Amino acid sequence: MISIDGVSQTFKGKSGPVEAIRDISLTIGEGEFLTVIGRSGCGKSTLLRMVAGLLKPTKGEVRVAGEVVREPRRDVAMVFQKPALLPWRSVEDNIMLPVEIFGRRKADHRAQVDRLLETTGLTAFRKRLPHELSGGMQQRVSLCRALIQNPKVMLMDEPFSALDALTREELAVELQRIHMDLGTTIVFVTHSIQEAVLLADRVAVLSSRPGQVRRLVEIPIPRPRSFGHNAHMDQVAGVSAELHSLLLSDTHLPKTSTL
Amino acid sequence: MTDFDAGSRTSRVWTNVGLPILGVIITVTGWWAITAAFHIDPFYVPSPADVVDTFLRTPEFLLQETWTTLQRVLIGFAIAVALGLVIAVTLAASRTVERMAMPILAAINAVPKVALAPLLLVWMGFGDSPKIVMVVLVSFFPVIVSTMAGLTSTPDDLQELTRSLKASWWQTFVKVRLTWALPQVFVGLKVATPLAIIGAVIGEVVNPDRGLGSVIAGSGASNDTPLAFAALVLLAVTGVVLFYLVAGIERLLVPWRVAK
Ligand SMILES: Nc1ncnc2c1ncn2[C@@H]1O[C@H](COP(=O)(O)OP(=O)(O)OP(=O)(O)O)[C@@H](O)[C@H]1O
Ligand SMILES: [Mg+2]
């Protein structure tokens, strides 16, 4: 579905060039859930923005559904770290925004909005304005707004990182269900190992700047997965530990190499 | 405001209506007390009672002049707002135009408007139009600056969102940037409201025919300080009413902001 082919990104910063991403190649299959994990500043958002067509790679190219990405595509939906809701629009009008922008008929999408509100438990809040909602609810609205696009691919940049731990888990479980229902291809950036293990088919561990793929870790745990007690706790603990050591050992690498 | 009981109805009426009224009462009493305590000659500073007496001598006349000034203010303000919004939108739409026009606009704004009043008299003679033009000249700039600030303050996440949806420039402008700018626009309108009144008074003082500014100019000639004060009080009241009117419209149009 997505192929990232030798992609690099170097920003021209004020104090010289910043190499954010170096030579990343990845193939993401149709319906796959890939999480990208890495330390802060390693270029995760940059990578995602290149896949979204918001940023042109300095080298290499990204293909979605076989076509080279040169600009954003309407079958690729983004979910950002902040909910990015329009404060003057009610919940349902915010969800309708992509429909309006795409010039489609709102009437054709009413039923889908109802369904999305239902699955995310927002039905009672459909007329509310964003500032009347909790952070978790706002992020649910933002998720609905992405889903109304009926995207082939969803790109999610730390969508739950501003939420408290319990809400995060709740939303992660919800997202897993949505993914199982719809089979959308999802690239999900996070720096939570727990989240990565719950959600991913594969985890791409990025190294510190410049971001490179340090390891691709398969998560062969059957779905639906859950936090807390379950039948696969040993496996979960195993992969979590592996991811942990991959991320931790990384800190020392650049230091020792520059000494 | 972190009053614990801010939610209850009586306390809200108290903070929104009671406190402002109390402020006015204290100020007027203070004014009165000072003029009484120091035996100040009403020729220099009349007491509130002198001012009220003066007003009651010719209430129809003063209210008529107030209405004249108010009309000029409202027409001029409406033109200034329309002009300011159009200019701001044009400037925000094109970097090139902005670069070219901004120094000119800033220069126009920096010209002391009083200095223009005699010119306006030459160009337009007596009557309403030079006063209305003065109102526009004095009050259009804050509208432009604040609207532009609002139009360029769209947060990054919303910009990324519209880009990722491949929204056209026009769609982004109408659906996101313009509404996002509204709170800022109202900041400009609130700055421009008193300026509009000042503009009308400048026009009327320099080029007196009718209106409260002319009353003030005339009272100087006849040494009638209480009359000047009566006119000033009426101007002040007009200013307060207009300001709260704008604030009220803001409440209607920008409920998401006011609720925060
Ligand atoms: N537009 C830009 N211009 C210059 N440098 C940039 C730009 N965008 C990102 N960078 C730099 O590229 C590096 C990677 O940034 P990026 O935002 O992709 O990191 P990240 O992995 O998403 O971090 P976080 O986990 O904190 O979100 C950072 O060092 C950042 O300073
Ligand atoms: Mg990031």
Break chain A into its structural domains and give their ranges: 2-75+151-258
| Cβ atoms of residues A147 and A115 within 8 Å | no
Closest CA to A203 of A40, A37, A49, A7: A37
Å from CA of A11 to ligand 1 middle = 9
User: Among all chains, which residue has been given the structure tokens 């503009």?
Assistant: B199
Å from CA of A33 to ligand 1 middle = 23
Helix (H, G, I), strand (E, B) or coil at A78: strand
pLDDT band at A258 (very low <50, low <70, confident <90, very high): very low
Closest CA to A207 of A23, A18, A60: A23
Separation between Cα atoms, residue A88 and residue B103, nearest integer Å: 34
**What is the mean predicted confidence (pLDDT) over A1-22?**
90
**Prior bond of B194 cis (ω within 30°):** no
B chain contacts of residue A97, beta-carbon cutoff 8 Å: 165, 175
| ipTM of the modeled complex | 0.86
Closest CA to A85 of B256, B251, B22, B252: B256
Q: Which of B158, B161, B256 to mutate to test the interface with A (most CBs of A within 10 A)?
A: B161
Atom 31 in ligand 1: which residue has the minimum CA distance? Answer: A41
| Cβ atoms of residues B156 and B242 within 8 Å | no
Assess A75–B contact: CB distance below 8 Å, yes or no. no
Closest atom of ligand 1 to CA, residue A48: 18
| Cβ atoms of residues B158 and A84 within 8 Å | yes
Assess A56–B contact: CB distance below 8 Å, yes or no. no
For a pLDDT cut of 90, what percent of chain A falls above it? 66
Å from CA of A45 to ligand 1 middle = 7
What pLDDT, on a 0 to 100 scale, did the predictor assign at position B259? 53
Q: Which residues in B76-92 are b (16+ Cβ under 10 Å) and which e?
A: bbebbbeebbebbbebb
Q: What is the largest CA-CA distance in chain A?
A: 63
Q: Which of B158, B162, B163, B164 to mutate to test the interface with A (most CBs of A within 10 A)?
A: B164
**Distance to chain A for B51, nearest Cα, Å:** 47
| Cβ atoms of residues A179 and A186 within 8 Å | yes
**Distance to chain B for A120, nearest Cα, Å:** 21
- Among A84, A129, A130, the residue with its CB nearest the CB of B161 is A84
- Among B157, B162, B255, the residue with its CB nearest the CB of A80 is B157
Pocket of ligand 1 (CB under 6 A): A 11, 13, 18, 20, 38, 40-46, 191, 209
Residues A48-94 pLDDT 10s = 999 999 999 999 999 999 999 999 999 999 999 999 999 999 999 99
- Find the closest chain A residue to B254 by CA distance: A88
- Among A71, A87, A131, the residue with its CB nearest the CB of B166 is A71
Torsional sign, CA B232, B234, B235, B236: positive
**What is the mean predicted confidence (pLDDT) over A131-140?**
93
Closest CA to A190 of A247, A228, A135: A247
**Distance to chain A for B224, nearest Cα, Å:** 53
Closest atom of ligand 1 to CA, residue A158: 27
Residues A183-231 pLDDT 10s = 999 999 998 888 999 999 999 999 887 888 888 989 888 888 888 777 7
User: Within 13 Å of residue B21, how many CA atoms lie on the same side as its CB?
Assistant: 6
Quickly list DSSP for A185-247.
EEEEEES-HHHHHHH-SEEEEEPSSSB-EEEEEE--PPSSP-SSS-TTHHHHHHHHHHHHHHH
Q: Chain-wide mean pLDDT for chain A?
A: 90
Report whether pLDDT(A13) > 60: yes
Closest atom of ligand 1 to CA, residue A12: 4
Atom 23 in ligand 1: which residue has the minimum CA distance? Answer: A41
Residue spans of chain B under pLDDT 50: 1-3
Torsional sign, CA B240, B246, B252, B258: negative
A chain contacts of residue B162, beta-carbon cutoff 8 Å: 101
A26-to-A9, A32, A63, A250, B26 alpha-carbon distances in Å: 15, 12, 11, 20, 73
- Among A52, A86, A101, the residue with its CB nearest the CB of B167 is A101
* CATH number, span A2-75+151-258: 3.40.50.300
CB contact under 8 A, A131 and B165: no
Separation between Cα atoms, residue A138 and residue A132, nearest integer Å: 9
CB contact under 8 A, B165 and A102: yes
- Among B166, B171, B256, the residue with its CB nearest the CB of A87 is B256
Helix (H, G, I), strand (E, B) or coil at A83: coil
Closest atom of ligand 1 to CA, residue A206: 21
User: Among all chains, which residue has been given the structure tokens 């209607």?
Assistant: B252
Quickly list DSSP for B73-120.
HHHHHHHHHHHHHHHHHHHHH-HHHHHHHHHHHHHHHHS-HHHHHHHH
Q: Are strands A153-157 and A185-190 parallel, antiparallel or unpaired?
A: parallel
**Token duo for residue A204:** 């791409």
Separation between Cα atoms, residue B40 and residue A188, nearest integer Å: 77
Ligand closest to Cα of A36 equals 1
CB contact under 8 A, A80 and B160: yes
A chain contacts of residue B155, beta-carbon cutoff 8 Å: 84
Scanning B46-58, the segments in alpha helix (DSSP H) are 48-57
What pLDDT, on a 0 to 100 scale, did the predictor assign at position B189? 95
- Find the closest chain B residue to A149 by CA distance: B165
B chain contacts of residue A82, beta-carbon cutoff 8 Å: 157
pLDDT band at A252 (very low <50, low <70, confident <90, very high): very low
